[in-house]
Amino acid sequence: MSFVFNEVHETQFQDLLPRYPHPKALVLPCLWMVQYQEGYISSDAIMYIANRLDIPQAHLYSVATFYTMFNLEPIAKYHIQVCKTLSCELCGKADIISCIEDELGIKVNESNELFKLTEVECLGACGSAPMLAMNEEYHENLTPEKTRVLLQRLSQ
């Protein structure tokens, strides 16, 4: 096993451990620590956390795959997640996807040197659809032009 928490995350883990009634409750904090440390959650990291919390690896994997905010493979510098639920669909999500694909030359679930494009379930901004998340930053009330400006700014 090649993954271990760095000194900062080991300290955080030790600080959190007594605050939770059962180690299983630490799954989400541990997954976040791994992702902040490595940029994604590897199978080695899942095995490491499973051993530290004494829970099945399958449980960790099921949690990591349930939430769209966790990445199980290395991600480009900018991870574009476009909401694909009804509000965004009705408000022009398809135009936003087309704009991104045209501007970056990638399709949904593809990457280039700087960007990865995925469609995800509701990002919780239905009142300001269509929207996307760029890493951890939300961009709402999008138009193709606003999207193009955002992508051009980040590409520089």
Same domain assignment for residues 83 and 150: yes
CATH number at residue 136: 3.40.30.10
Same domain assignment for residues 86 and 53: no
Question: Does 50 map to a domain?
Answer: yes
Amino acid at 147: T
Q: What is the pLDDT of residue 90?
A: 94
Same domain assignment for residues 121 and 142: yes
Residues of the chain scoring pLDDT < 50: none
CATH number at residue 42: 1.10.10
Question: What tens digit of pLDDT does each residue of 21-49 get?
Answer: 888 899 999 999 999 999 899 999 999 99
Q: What is the pLDDT of residue 135?
A: 87
Q: What is the pLDDT of residue 106?
A: 96
Q: What is the pLDDT of residue 95?
A: 96
> For residue 55, with 0-12 CB atoms within 10 Å meaning exposed, 13-18 middle and 19 or more buried, which class applies?
middle
pTM greater than the 0.85 cutoff:
no
Same domain assignment for residues 149 and 107: yes
Which residue range forms the structural domain that includes residue 41? 7-66
Cα–Cα distance list, 75 to 9, 51, 79 (Å):
21, 25, 7
Question: For the chain, how many structural domains are there in total?
Answer: 2
Q: Which of 66, 95, 112 is the last residue of a domain?
A: 66
